[in-house]
Amino acid sequence: MSMNTSHTTLVKGACPHDCPDTCALLTTVEDGRATKVQGNPEHAPTDGVLCTKVARYTERTYHPERLLQPLRRTGPKGSGQFEPVGWDEALDAIAARLKTIAARDPQAILPYSYAGTMGLVQGESIAARFFHQLGASLLDRTICASAGAEALTQTLGNKVGMKVAFFAESKLIVIWGSNSIGSNLHFWRVAQEAKRQGAKLVCIDPRRSETADKCHEHIALRPGTDAALALSLMHELIVHDGLDADYLEQYTLGWEALKARALQWPPERAAEVCGIPVKQIQDLARDWGTIKPAAIRLNYGMQRVRGGGNAVRAIACLPALTGAWRHRAGGLLLSSSGHFPVRRAALQRPDLLGERRPRTLNMSTIGDDLLRPSSAEFGPQVEALIVYNSNPVAVAPESGKVVQGFAREDLFTVVLEHFQTDTADHADFILPATTQLEHWDIHTSYGHTDVLLNQPAIAPVGQARTNTDIFRALAARMGFDDPCFLDSDEALCRSAIGDAQDFAQLLTHGFASLPVPDAPFAQGGFPTPSGRCEFFSQRLADQGLDGLPDHVPNYEVTDPNGRYPLAMISPPARNFLNSTFVNVQSLRDIETEPVLEMHPQDAQARGIEDGVVVRVFNDRGVYHCRARLNQRARPGVVHGLGIWWRKLGLNGTNVNELTSQHLTDLGRAPVFYDCLVEVAPDPSFVAAPAKKESHA
């Protein structure tokens, strides 16, 4: 399991972050201290390479501001003023408060968590059991991928697709809504291999990203217009005889209906909607119809708009039109997570609810929901919030409202964290949690099909405890005596995944591959109700929705004469992972300050020079950052990069001050990239001195 030299150990682990690559880690431990985190060269998808962020994992783990002991609030809500408190005292007080609230109605308690760790054990195992036993409100975990996930499930039957390694053999790769170099580095390495073998790379992205720079073709469409482009590609394939009639006949459902829809989208119409040349559409359609094998790497960046679900449905149809799935290097990959036989019910134990059916609250509308009073439709006002693996004050949309909700003096908030984030600033109690180097976990992936085991490399830093251990301790204090609360983390790892998992192999190698066929849909066999690729979805039609994919325009469509004439998207900054790593100095030094990328033409029209502080605003709020003028932005679109910590920004806000709480067409997800703003120079702006984290 680990190799011993004199006082050095090499421990096998898994990267816990919300990233499709799920790298295998090797941590060097010298005399009990982790000194280096590297990629495991034996794990093919990792290939011995990590991104810059996780290569700095020891800097994050031993960060001087790491939370080392439980803290109790001393100042007003949100002031960030805390005093140290013992574990027993903190846990007793939390359990007592939860008991009081639960005695009235446990649904007034809301867990709030996401993918700070993607681990099945430190994610939702004991925590989920705890909230199920309690009967707390359920959380609809929609903040990232649920529009695309729902769309893919309706079309292909599950979150399934190509195996990432075979992109190396593709001759045409369409990178659609993904800055792979920044957010899917190990796929990019495979695409580079294909490029060396003569493949053509096309990038579809409003932003001229680092990835777009390195592709042969860049189609810079307006945000939220991908379905129009996809339908028009279908139009061209129909008109110019690019279809695989045999594949359509044998393995798809609803072709005649989809064909009629696609014929409404001649390239001239789509070009107008997308704001791109007609020729780009015609050329891509010709390539998609003639170059084989052809593959699409779709990513979630393009589904954060009103029509995000429909757009994913339209794009997911494209491989079936040309029979691209026949080849293992053809087809599409958005997510591979549906391939894993995770035993979710055994881990999370929804049966502990018994007959109770608590309400479900959507994490993407936490701003509104924290401000809602009790009512017949809503149920009880949220009185307590337990946050783990997430930083909602920074990452949830319309943060003005989120902050107002978290600032409620009557709301009882507990935050399990590594650092005093913007969310932790609003806690009544902050509980220090272990990092990936300090605990057991088991990981699936949404970018490859290997299971990874993470073994602890070092003892918990300070008084940190695992999420599981914290919920076990709370369960005991609540009087929950089901034996499932005693399961150890190692036992949870062993039981997490069905028969595909050989635990001995995981202990030895750190990873194991699932038995997934190389070309899963070469002869149909889609995991849909019909077994076919469902262009038409009866399940959607039964819900009163359009059974066919269509272009659904953004909620906020640009109007050059409108009050807010610029469309803003806010994709990740390469050196942060959502809001994680923003407080790691060496990485923040690379990103420097919060920026807004603008096209020089838009800047000039507003008297904005490169590097000046600007006000970005709409009816929801104001965000200050520095203008960065370059050709990455197309005219009419601006980019507020990365999810900065509010308190490390220029005026104590971040880009989510401007985003809305509207939801997508499918999957109830947020529409971060469907957002209109105006921008103005702000020469009088003086940055507030950066707030220091203070715990004492």
Write the binding mask 158 to 187 for ligand MGD: x where contact by CB under 6 A, - elsewhere.
------------------xxxx--xxx---
The distance of Cα 83 from the centroid of its chain, to the nearest Å, equals 33
Q: Give yes or no for a contact between 28 and 38, defined as CB atoms under 8 angstroms apart.
A: yes
**Token pair in block for residue 280:** 């780009």
The verdict on 120 binding ligand MGD (CB under 6 A) reads no
The verdict on 389 binding ligand MGD (CB under 6 A) reads yes
Binding to ligand MGD, residues 469-528 (CB under 6 A): none
Binding to ligand MGD, residues 225-244 (CB under 6 A): 226
Over its C-alpha atoms, the chain yields an Rg (Å, rounded) of 25
Q: How is 457-503 classified by DSSP, letter by letter? A: -SPPSTT-B-HHHHHHHHHHHHT---GGGG--HHHHHHHSB-TT--H
Using DSSP bridges, classify how beta strands 384-388 and 412-417 pair: parallel, antiparallel or unpaired: parallel
Q: Please say which residue, 185 or 676, places its beta carbon nearer to ligand SF4.
A: 185
Give the one entry of ligand MGD, Mo ion, ligand SF4, none that residue 458 binds, where binding means its C-beta sits below a cut-off of 5 to 8 angstroms depending on kind: none
In the set 11, 12, 15, 164, which binds ligand SF4 (CB under 6 A)? 15
In the set 390, 445, 455, 618, which binds ligand MGD (CB under 6 A)? 390
**Token pair in block for residue 520:** 């899963």
Q: Please say which residue, 207 or 532, places its beta carbon nearer to ligand MGD.
A: 207
Q: Give yes or no for a contact between 413 and 427, defined as CB atoms under 8 angstroms apart.
A: yes
Count interface residues toward ligand SF4 (CB under 6 A): 12
Interface region with ligand SF4, contact rule CB under 6 A, candidates 16-24, 67-75, 255-263, 530-538: 16-24
In the set 24, 37, 124, 205, which binds ligand MGD (CB under 6 A)? 205
Q: What is the largest CA-CA distance in the chain?
A: 73
The verdict on 597 binding ligand MGD (CB under 6 A) reads no
Residue 512 burial (CB count, 10 A): 18
The verdict on 19 binding ligand SF4 (CB under 6 A) reads yes
The verdict on 220 binding ligand MGD (CB under 6 A) reads no
Q: Please say which residue, 120 or 144, places its beta carbon nearer to Mo ion.
A: 144
Q: How many residues does the chain have?
A: 696
Sign of the CA dihedral running 525, 527, 532, 535: negative
Sheet with strand 450-454: strands edge to edge: 441-443, 450-454, 511-513
Could you tell me what percentage of the chain is helix, strand and coil, using 3-state DSSP and rounding each to the nearest 5? 35, 20, 45
Q: Please say which residue, 131 or 581, places its beta carbon nearer to ligand SF4.
A: 581
In the set 39, 45, 301, 549, which binds ligand MGD (CB under 6 A)? 301
**Token pair in block for residue 120:** 């099945």
Reduced to 3 states (helix: H, G, I; strand: E, B; else coil), residue 585 is helix
Residue 168, amino acid: A
Q: Is the backbone peptide bond immediately before 293 cis, with ω within 30 degrees of 0? A: yes
The verdict on 203 binding ligand MGD (CB under 6 A) reads no
User: If 0-12 CB within 10 Å is exposed, 13-18 middle and 19+ buried, where does residue 292 land?
Assistant: middle
Q: Please say which residue, 54 or 638, places its beta carbon nearer to ligand SF4.
A: 54
Closest by CA position to 101, among listed 406, 423, 361, 382: 382
Positions touching Mo ion (CB under 5 A) are 144
Q: Give yes or no for a contact between 369 and 379, defined as CB atoms under 8 angstroms apart.
A: no
CB of 131 to ligand SF4, least distance (A): 28
Write the binding mask 560 to 599 for ligand SF4: x where contact by CB under 6 A, - elsewhere.
-----------------x----------------------
CB of 56 to Mo ion, least distance (A): 20
The verdict on 572 binding ligand MGD (CB under 6 A) reads yes
- Alpha carbons 116 and 99: distance in angstroms, whole number: 27
Write the binding mask 515 to 544 for ligand SF4: x where contact by CB under 6 A, - elsewhere.
------------------------------
CB of 544 to ligand MGD, least distance (A): 26
Closest by CA position to 495, among listed 342, 609, 658, 642: 342
The verdict on 339 binding ligand MGD (CB under 6 A) reads no
**Token pair in block for residue 339:** 């391939």
Binding to ligand SF4, residues 33-52 (CB under 6 A): 50-51
The verdict on 235 binding ligand SF4 (CB under 6 A) reads no
In the set 12, 13, 23, 227, which binds ligand SF4 (CB under 6 A)? 23
Q: Give yes or no for a contact between 421 and 144, defined as CB atoms under 8 angstroms apart.
A: no
Please count the CA atoms within 13 angstroms of the CA of 670 that sit on its side-chain side. 28
The verdict on 648 binding ligand SF4 (CB under 6 A) reads no
Which residues of this protein are in contact with ligand SF4, per CB under 6 A? 15, 17, 19, 21-23, 50-51, 53-54, 185, 577
Which residues of this protein are in contact with ligand MGD, per CB under 6 A? 18-19, 114-117, 122, 143-145, 176-179, 182-184, 204-207, 209, 223-224, 226, 299-302, 305, 388-391, 395, 416-419, 421, 433, 467, 569-572, 574, 576-580, 643, 655-656, 659, 672-673
